[in-house]
């Protein structure tokens, strides 16, 4: 049994070495047609690294030849299938900029945006790449309103919008957790201005009220009246917008305390 396994293992190594030698031989070939044919074969066999290496080598030669369009397009997919999303996005963009009349332009534009979307991080990290992906996907939808990719593109746009909203909310909430009350209120207000239709607005206003109350509590006496009044105004706005909110009882406590403080200030 051991001999059979050992022989099989050795045969596998021989085959691997042989395949590797074959690829190196093709890679060193001076004939771009050999590389082109081999690249197509590797691509068909889903050996995207090898196909990508060969396509990249011959790309400067075939650019302007009938084979150029295909090579540029497949090179983009080679990078995409390897998870090299930034490179894939670059090559898809290069494709639709170079072959504007190609039947593959719509797909390339979608894949450019999709690769950027795949590369974008979750909402806890910097969202610069998310904004780039969002812009690219929106441009795609605007250009191809009847595209077969439209439904997926809209779903992706909604997800990226939520990522940006979550990031904005998290930034404001971080100030709240650090008890930086004034900065927290400003950050929540900026969030509401930037994302007026967000589902997180209710929570944002809720934490703004609590933060404003704490800010008033810690303020010097000459500023407290103004800030308790702000708590009152923010509460009234909140109950007008969210009369059935599950958070009303909690903000009512801050509101009632603010009224009590205002009454005492007025007496004094």
Written as six digits, the tokens of 2 are 């051991």
Q: Which residues contact 260 (CB under 8 A, 6 or more apart)?
A: none
Give the domain range for residue 232: 179-268
* pLDDT at position 121: 67
Is residue 201 within 8 A of residue 192, CB to CB? The reply is: yes
**Looking at the domain assignment, is residue 249 inside a domain?**
yes
- For residue range 151-176, what is the model confidence (pLDDT) as tens digits? 999 999 999 999 899 989 999 999 99
**Looking at the domain assignment, is residue 244 inside a domain?**
yes
**Looking at the domain assignment, is residue 89 inside a domain?**
no
Examine the pLDDT at 14 and tell me if it is beyond 70.
Answer: no
CA distance 10 to 22: 18
Residue 255, exposed/middle/buried by CB under 10 A (0-12, 13-18, 19+)? buried
Alpha helices, H only, the chain: 2-27, 32-44, 48-62, 66-81, 85-98, 105-119, 128-143, 150-177, 181-194, 201-217, 221-241, 248-267
* pLDDT at position 19: 62
**Looking at the domain assignment, is residue 140 inside a domain?**
no
Residue 239, exposed/middle/buried by CB under 10 A (0-12, 13-18, 19+)? middle
- For residue range 219-262, what is the model confidence (pLDDT) as tens digits? 888 898 999 999 999 999 999 999 999 999 999 999 999 999 88
**Looking at the domain assignment, is residue 216 inside a domain?**
yes
State whether the Cα torsion 165-166-170-171 is positive or negative: negative
**Looking at the domain assignment, is residue 42 inside a domain?**
no
* β-sheet bridge partners, residue 63: 65
Least confident of 13-17, 73-77, 192-196: 13-17
**Looking at the domain assignment, is residue 239 inside a domain?**
yes
**Looking at the domain assignment, is residue 217 inside a domain?**
yes
Structural domain count of the chain? 1
Q: Give the mean model confidence (pLDDT) for residues 133-142.
A: 94
Q: Give the mean model confidence (pLDDT) for residues 129-157.
A: 94
Closest by Cα among 109, 45, 42 to 71: 42
- For the chain, the maximum distance between any two Cα atoms, rounded to a whole number of angstroms, is 99
Written as six digits, the tokens of 156 are 């992706």
* pLDDT at position 4: 42
């Amino acid at each position: 049994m051991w001999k059979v396994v050992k022989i099989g293992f050795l045969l596998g190594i021989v085959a691997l070495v042989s395949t590797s030698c074959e690829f190196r031989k093709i890679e060193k070939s001076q004939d771009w047609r050999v590389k082109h044919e081999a690249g197509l074969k590797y691509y068909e066999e889903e050996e995207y690294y090898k196909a990508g290496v060969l396509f990249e080598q011959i790309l400067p030669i075939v650019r302007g030849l009938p084979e150029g369009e295909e090579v540029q397009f497949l090179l983009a997919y080679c990078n995409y299938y390897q998870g090299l999303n930034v490179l894939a996005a670059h090559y898809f963009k290069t494709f639709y900029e170079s072959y504007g009349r190609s039947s593959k332009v719509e797909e390339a534009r979608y894949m450019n945006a999709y690769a950027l979307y795949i590369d974008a991080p979750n909402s806890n990290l910097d969202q610069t790449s998310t904004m780039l992906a969002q812009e690219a996907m929106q441009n795609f939808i605007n250009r191809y309103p009847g595209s077969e990719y439209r439904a997926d593109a809209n779903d992706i746009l909604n997800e990226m919008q939520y990522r940006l909203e979550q990031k904005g909310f998290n930034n404001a909430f971080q100030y709240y957790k650090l008890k930086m009350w004034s900065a927290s209120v400003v950050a929540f207000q900026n969030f509401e201005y930037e994302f007026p239709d967000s589902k997180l607005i209710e929570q944002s206003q809720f934490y703004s009220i609590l933060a404003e109350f704490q800010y008033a509590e810690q303020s010097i006496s000459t500023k407290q009246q103004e800030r308790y009044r702000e708590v009152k105004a923010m509460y009234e706005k909140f109950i007008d917008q969210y009369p059935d909110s599950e958070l009303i009882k909690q903000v009512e406590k801050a509101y009632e305390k603010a009224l009590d403080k205002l009454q005492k200030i007025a007496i004094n």
